[in-house]
Structures are given as structure tokens and as C-alpha cells.
Amino acid sequence: MTATGLTLGALALAGGEGERLRVKPWRDIPLGIAIAAGLFAIFQAGDRKAREMMPRGDDEIADIYALREIKPKEEIALRLATVIGPAEEIFWRGWLQRRIGWLPSAMAYGGAHLVTGNTTLIGAASVAGLYWGLLAAIGIPMGALIVSHSLWDIWIFLVQPTQKDE
């Protein structure tokens, strides 16, 4: 994911997205935190439904979280915060969405996860793509979306993963 993020981020920056990256910390950090919290709430509810409705939902969610063990958590967090989250926003919600629109870019974002064969991940990525894409479409600044994506990735993947109700 880091190599893909570097590639997509570089393509978007070469395509002019760097001009839109004027981060205003006093605005973008609190807004990004609020956006990440909203998506986390959506995923808490969605996680329960995915586990109930999808025959392999439980196993597929476990497969996603098993990836936390392939590298030290600090390294994963650093990659998510500095490359993966920012690059995904700059490419998908910046470069691509500005060219083809909200819904097609959100569908492409979800579709990019088809290679995993993990239906739950594809659904989760689609929901996140629709959420962040809608926010970008209504004018939420790229800096806030980057903060949101980076924080949300770290929170959902490393700090507070969704859990099966016991």
C-alpha cells in the first residue's frame, strides 16, 4: 500500500493537486478529527450489519485485521499517516474526483479493492469513498480530508478496531 500510495500521490501531484494543499492547521485538524469520528461511528454500525448479513463477514474482517501483524504498529501508523492516507485523498478525492465527479470516483475507489477478493473490505472502502467524496464535493478542504483519512486509518486499524459483539 505504501508503494501504491507513493505512485498515486506522485501522479496526483504531477497533475496539479499540490496547488490545493494549503493546509490550515487551526481549521483542518479539528475538522479532520470530527470527520474521522463521523466515519468511525458509521463503521461501528456497519460492522455489526456486515457480520450479520454477510456469510463470510466475520472471517473477512478478521483477515483485514490480521495484516496488523506483518510490521511493527509504529511503522504501520507512520506509513498510514505520512503516505497512504494523504496519497489516497490527494489522488481519489483530489485529482480523480475533480475530473470524473463524486460518484464515479467513489465507485472507482471501492472497485480498486476488488483485487483483494474481500467483499467486506470492498464494501467498507466503497462506504468510505462515498463519505470522503461527498465531503470533498461539498467543499471540505483537502487538508481536513487528509487529516481525517490518516487519523481514521490509524484509529480503525491499530487503536480501536471494530469488534464482534459477544
DSSP codes, 97-132: HHHH-HHHHHHHHHHTTGGG--HHHHHHHHHHHHHH
Question: Does 138 map to a domain?
Answer: yes
**pLDDT tens readout for residues 119-154:** 888 988 999 999 999 999 999 999 999 999 999 999
| Contact by Cβ (8 Å): 6, 87 | yes
27 occurs within a structural domain:
yes
Q: Look at residue 19 in the predicted model and tell me its pLDDT.
A: 65
Q: Which residue has the higher pLDDT, 134 or 51?
A: 134
Give which of 131, 135, 153 is closest to 143, Cα–Cα. 135
129 in any annotated domain: yes
How much is the pLDDT for 161? 74
**Residue 145 belongs to a domain:** yes
**pTM, to two decimals:** 0.86
Domain membership flag for residue 98: yes
Residue 54 to residue 50: CA distance in whole angstroms: 5
In a domain, 10, yes or no: no
Whether 11 maps to a domain, the answer reads no
Q: Evaluate whether 105 touches 136 at the Cβ level (below 8 Å).
A: no
Within-domain flag for 164: no
Number of structural domains in the chain: 1
pLDDT above 70 coverage of the chain, percent: 95
Q: What value does the mean pLDDT take over residues 19-40?
A: 89
Q: For residue 125, what are the domain limits?
A: 23-159
